Amino acid sequence: MLKSPDIKLFAGTPLSVLDLAPITEGSTATEAFKNSVELAQHVERFGFNRYWLAEHHNMPGIASSATSVLIGHIAGSTKSIRVGAGGIMLPNHATLVIAEQFGTLESLYPGRIDLGLGRAPGSDQATAYALRRTLNRGAEEFPQQVEELEDYFHGKAQVRAIPGEGLKIPIWLLGSSDFSARLAAYKGLPFSFASHFAPQYTIPAIQLYKNNFRPSATLDRPYAMVGVNVIAADTDEKAAWLATSQQQQFLSLVRNMPSQLKPPIEDIEKVWSPFEKASVEQTLDPNSTIIGNPDTVKQKLKAFIDRTEADEVIINSQIYYQEDRLRSYEILAEMMD
């Protein structure tokens, strides 16, 4: 269920793609979706394992808010790569709606759909209210919601999810702390950790998940996928320049002024204060944000896998220029067996 037999590996580990469908400065969501299709087709040819899209709201630089719709668009534009949610923020939705949406996707693209679930709102409180109309159901009810969703797929709910009922859609739990690690271990589900923006909790969460894992009908052993930022280019200098787009994106969040993905700049030091720099670098930690030429990236990615003992790595590359984003994943593909 978790590995396709024809995927390529890096150091014995499958590589996958996390796409936020970035809207670059001066562009539109339409262009972002075209770029996502091109990237998905690109990485499919290179043997990447899966292509996930993440739910965010009220973010000018992220176009993947209607995640299920975009998953269908990407799956319909590719042939074999697994496509899924990394993830659906379950507290934002009625579980029946998600069961029906992913039942529809699985019916359209059998054997290719993943359903990753998160418990954060993927937004601020005002946006969460706009999505739900009430905040009575919050992250603390996430375990109950996961159970409800499974019941719809297993035909155990009072209301039937059609399509959805009886379909074997892989459910993953996503997290940036230990909460979902514990729940995934308890339920015997695959777990994906957001090391790409919560690096300090990575090792404890993965160890907790693996040490407490209980075999289930889904998995007989733990399976952990870990997120990492990778910006690869033909030289270290160009990679560092390209990386300033992602640094500016996180700087805008520190300033509570989210923006479209900005073009690279020559000197990031002129843009941020010492406090802002420290805040951004705490999130974009060198252990989980890899920037450099092919040799640098290969060495650091291998060290990341060895350190985390990840069963799979999902790669986020926030790069302004589409040709450079494609090239970054091409460099990674050249490292795979």
Q: How is the chain split into domains, by residue range?
A: 9-335
Output the six-digit token pair for 287: 């252990």
Mean pLDDT on 135-160:
88
pLDDT at 137: 59
Residue 193, H or E segment:
strand 191-193
Interhelix angle 29-46/67-76, nearest 10 degrees: 50
pLDDT tens-digit map of 200-248? 899 999 999 999 999 999 999 999 999 999 999 999 999 999 999 999 9
Mean pLDDT on 141-167:
96
The answer to whether residue 11 scores a pLDDT higher than 50 is yes
| Residues 6 or more apart whose Cβ sits within 8 Å of residue 193 | 174, 175, 176, 181, 201, 202, 205, 206, 209, 224, 225, 226, 227
pLDDT at 129: 76
pLDDT at 40: 98
Question: How many angstroms separate the CA atoms of 143 and 293, rounded?
Answer: 42
CATH of domain 9-335: 3.20.20.30
Mean pLDDT on 301-329:
97
Question: How many angstroms separate the CA atoms of 266 and 246, rounded?
Answer: 13
pLDDT at 164: 97
Is-contact 276 255, C-beta < 8 A? yes
Model confidence band, residue 1 (pLDDT cutoffs 50, 70, 90): very low
The answer to whether residue 103 scores a pLDDT higher than 70 is yes
Is-contact 2 223, C-beta < 8 A? yes
Output the six-digit token pair for 172: 């993953």
Is-contact 113 84, C-beta < 8 A? yes
Question: How many angstroms separate the CA atoms of 259 and 251, rounded?
Answer: 10
Is-contact 43 12, C-beta < 8 A? no
Question: How many angstroms separate the CA atoms of 159 and 157, rounded?
Answer: 5
Percentage of the chain surpassing pLDDT 90?
88
The answer to whether residue 139 scores a pLDDT higher than 70 is no
Mean pLDDT on 299-303:
97
pLDDT at 120: 81
The answer to whether residue 337 scores a pLDDT higher than 90 is no
pTM (predicted TM-score): 0.94
| Residues 6 or more apart whose Cβ sits within 8 Å of residue 122 | 54, 55, 56, 57, 89, 92
Q: What angle do CA 96, 100, 104 make, to 5 degrees?
A: 170
**Arithmetic mean of pLDDT over the chain:** 94
